[in-house]
């Protein structure tokens, strides 16, 4: 068989704040340690964003960072971001801004346990819903205040998030079909919404995704619906029921963070912010100031995020290599950080995964 053509990828590295600066180097080392037989080479560009950047410059997401990502990079890795708990004039989340500026309309979060029965992906619409951040506070005639927020759902955004979720369902089924062992799961898409109350906004999301699913390409994908509050209950009760879950921005945010409890820690849950031509791998944990500087931050989510980024950059074989190395570490369970009940350091976990890789 002829070897594939070599490919070079430039990856932006945005460590951000807190433990982001401690775990992001693990992502770079994974890419640098991929087998040469894959024909992949990488170069890296260090970029700034985050609360620390805002404190230093007055801008949480410098224009230069966005410009370099657009013009020079094919993908990026983002560490973590700290955010103030109270309003700070001029500050807004850099990762939310990146999603908008690069049109990364999907947040894809695989949630998989290596010893249990959880293996699902939550696909969260990334650009609208309540996250359009159009809020206003009014003072009524009696002096009381009322705050209002716009919830925006569009047909365009709902259609493209539905398509990427359905494509993932096909991809996951194809991977299962290639496996040596039979698998009980068949491709399934669960549309999560609250259209029984929000009939216009969530109703449009539900109807649009269902319309996309009528494409003959997706004829073998079972499509079901779940009201978001009962979805939370059933997700924790029977996670093995779910394959691909698609949701508007707010529900997807809540479900994906909550689902981390199914696999023991946010420290092992990856994600990717995905558009048509770009992907940013981003671990789901925050900046974790309580353990910053102690050398015990879990790098697994970052390394898994590398794999998810590679999948959306068209390198599934490389992604599989990373997933297998990480899952080998988790399955073995002997070298783990404290959040997983272990006593090892970040560096020791990284070294073990790289050895397996």
Residue 244 and residue 260: Cα distance in Å, rounded? 15
The answer to whether residues 121 and 337 touch, using CB atoms and an 8 Å cutoff, is no
Residue 313 and residue 300: Cα distance in Å, rounded? 20
Q: Residue written as tokens 């995905």?
A: 274
The answer to whether residues 337 and 288 touch, using CB atoms and an 8 Å cutoff, is no
**Per-residue pLDDT at 325 exceeds 70:** yes
Listed by start position, the domains of the chain span: 1-112+265-357, 114-263
CB atoms within 10 A of CB 90: 8
Residue 346 and residue 17: Cα distance in Å, rounded? 17
Q: What is the pLDDT of residue 257?
A: 86
**Per-residue pLDDT at 110 exceeds 90:** yes
The reported pTM is 0.90
Average pLDDT over residues 112-121: 88
Q: What is the pLDDT of residue 182?
A: 47
Token readout for 42 is: 């990488």
Q: Residue written as tokens 């404290």?
A: 338
Architecture of domain 1-112+265-357: 3-Layer(aba) Sandwich (3.40)
Q: Write out pLDDT tens, residues 203-222.
A: 999 999 999 999 999 999 99
Average pLDDT over residues 92-102: 90
Residue 187 and residue 171: Cα distance in Å, rounded? 9
**Per-residue pLDDT at 156 exceeds 90:** yes
Going by C-alpha positions, the residue among 325, 329, 321 that lies closest to residue 349 is 329
Check for a shared fold between 1-112+265-357 and 114-263: yes
Average pLDDT over residues 309-323: 95
Mean pLDDT for all residues in the chain: 93
More confident residue, 4 or 302: 302
pLDDT band at 1 (very low <50, low <70, confident <90, very high): very low
**Per-residue pLDDT at 272 exceeds 50:** yes
Q: Write out pLDDT tens, residues 47-87.
A: 999 999 999 999 999 999 999 999 999 999 999 999 888 88
CATH number belonging to domain 114-263 = 3.40.718.10
Q: Write out pLDDT tens, residues 173-186.
A: 988 888 755 455 68
């Amino acid at each position: 068989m002829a070897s594939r053509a070599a490919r070079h990828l430039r990856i932006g590295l945005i460590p951000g704040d807190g433990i982001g600066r401690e775990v992001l180097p693990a992502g770079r080392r994974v890419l640098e340690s991929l087998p040469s037989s894959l024909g992949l080479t990488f170069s890296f560009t260090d970029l700034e964003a985050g609360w620390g950047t805002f404190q230093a410059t007055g801008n949480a997401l410098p224009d230069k960072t966005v410009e370099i990502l657009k013009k020079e990079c094919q993908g990026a890795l983002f560490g973590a971001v700290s955010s103030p708990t109270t309003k700070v004039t001029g500050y807004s989340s850099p990762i939310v801004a990146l999603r908008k500026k690069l049109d990364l309309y999907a947040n894809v979060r695989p949630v998989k346990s290596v010893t249990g029965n959880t293996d699902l992906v939550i696909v969260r619409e990334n650009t609208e819903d309540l996250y359009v951040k159009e809020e206003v506070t009014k003072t009524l005639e009696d002096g009381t205040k009322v705050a209002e927020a716009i919830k925006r759902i569009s047909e365009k955004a709902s259609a493209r998030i539905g398509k990427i979720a359905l494509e993932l369902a096909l991809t996951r089924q194809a991977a299962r079909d290639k496996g040596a062992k039979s698998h009980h799961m068949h491709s399934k898409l669960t549309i999560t919404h609250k259209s029984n109350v929000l009939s216009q906004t969530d109703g449009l999301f539900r109807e649009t995704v269902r319309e996309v699913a009528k494409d003959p390409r997706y004829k073998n994908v079972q499509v079901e619906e779940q009201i978001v509050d009962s979805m939370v209950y059933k997700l924790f009760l029977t996670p093995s029921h779910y394959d691909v879950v698609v949701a508007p921005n707010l529900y997807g945010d809540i479900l994906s963070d909550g689902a981390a409890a199914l696999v023991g820690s946010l420290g092992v849950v990856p994600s990717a912010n995905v558009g048509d031509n770009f992907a940013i791998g981003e671990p789901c944990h925050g900046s974790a100031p309580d353990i910053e500087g102690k050398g015990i931050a879990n790098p697994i989510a970052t390394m898994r995020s590398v794999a998810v980024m590679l999948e959306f950059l068209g390198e599934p074989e490389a992604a599989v290599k990373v997933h297998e190395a990480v899952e080998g570490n988790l399955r073995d369970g002997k070298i783990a950080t404290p959040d997983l009940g272990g006593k090892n350091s970040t560096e020791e976990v990284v070294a073990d995964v790289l050895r397996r890789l």
